[in-house]
Amino acid sequence: MRRTLTVGSVLLLALAAAAAPSVEHPGGFRDHGVAVPYSHPRGTVCTVDGEGRDVLLSWLMDHRGGYGLLWVDLATGAHEVLPLPFDPAGDSPFASLLSSRGRFYTHFGSHFVEFDPRTKAFTFDHETGRRSAMAFTEDDDGRIWMAAYPGSGVVSYDPDSGEFRQFGSVNTENWAQYPRELACDDAGWVYIGIGNTLCQVIALDPASGEAHAVLAPAERKPGLARVERDEDGCVYGRAGGAADDAWFELYQGQRRDLAARGERRLKPYAAGSQGLFWRPVAGGGRANSLDLIAKQLLWTDAAGTQQTVPLDYDTDGAHLMSVITGPDGRLTGGGMFPMRQWMYDPTTETMEDHWAFGQFNTVAAAENTVFYGGYPGGWLLEWDPREPITRTQVDQLANPHWLAGSEPTINRPHALLVTRDGMWTVLAGTPGYGHTGGGLLVWDRALGTSKLLTHEQLLPELSTLSLVQLPSTMILGGAGVNPGTGGEVRAEQGELYLFDPARGEIEWHAPVIPGARAYNALWAASNEAVYGFADLRTFFCFNPTTRELVWSRETGDLGPMAGGQGPLPFVEADDGTVYVLFTNRITRLDPATGELTPVAEPPVPISCGGAWTAGRLWFVSTSHLWSWAPEG
* pLDDT (tens digit per residue) in 520-543: 999 999 889 999 999 999 999 999
The Cα-based distances of 165 to 112, 128, 201, 432, 577 in angstroms read 11, 10, 21, 34, 59
pLDDT at 10: 37
**DSSP code of 10?**
S
Buried-exposed string 306-338: b where 16+ CB fall within 10 A, e elsewhere: ebebebebebebbbbbbbbbbeeebbbbbbbbb
Return the HEC string of 51-73: CCCEEEEEEEEECCEEEEEEEEE
**DSSP code of 230?**
B
Q: Per-residue confidence at 132, pLDDT binned at 50, 70, 90?
A: very high
Question: Which residues make beta-bridge pairs with 107?
Answer: 112
pLDDT at 5: 37
Residue range 262-286, pLDDT digits in tens: 899 999 999 999 999 999 999 999 9
pLDDT at 272: 98
pLDDT at 167: 97
Residue range 58-107, pLDDT digits in tens: 999 999 999 999 999 999 999 999 999 999 999 999 999 999 999 999 99
**Is the CB of residue 284 less than 8 Å from the CB of residue 302?**
yes
**Is the CB of residue 614 less than 8 Å from the CB of residue 22?**
no
Rounded CA separation 93/310 (Å) = 24
pLDDT at 16: 52
Residue range 188-220, pLDDT digits in tens: 999 999 999 999 999 999 999 999 999 999 999
Average pLDDT over residues 159-172: 97
Residues 6 or more apart whose CB falls under 8 angstroms from that of 609 comprise 323, 562, 567, 568, 569, 571, 581, 617, 618, 619, 620
Question: Which residues make beta-bridge pairs with 255?
Answer: 250
State the sign of the Cα–Cα–Cα–Cα dihedral 426, 429, 434, 437: positive
pLDDT at 481: 99
Rounded CA separation 36/62 (Å) = 10
Q: What is the pTM of this model?
A: 0.93
pLDDT at 130: 83
pLDDT exceeds 60 at position 472: yes
**Is the CB of residue 413 less than 8 Å from the CB of residue 361?**
yes
pLDDT exceeds 50 at position 409: yes
3-state helix, strand, coil in the chain (%, to 5): 0, 50, 50
pLDDT at 243: 84
Rounded CA separation 201/182 (Å) = 10
CA 461-465-469 angle, to 5 degrees, is 120
Domains in the chain, CATH or no CATH each? 18-36+317-628 (2.130.10.10), 40-125+274-314 (no CATH), 130-270 (2.120.10.30)
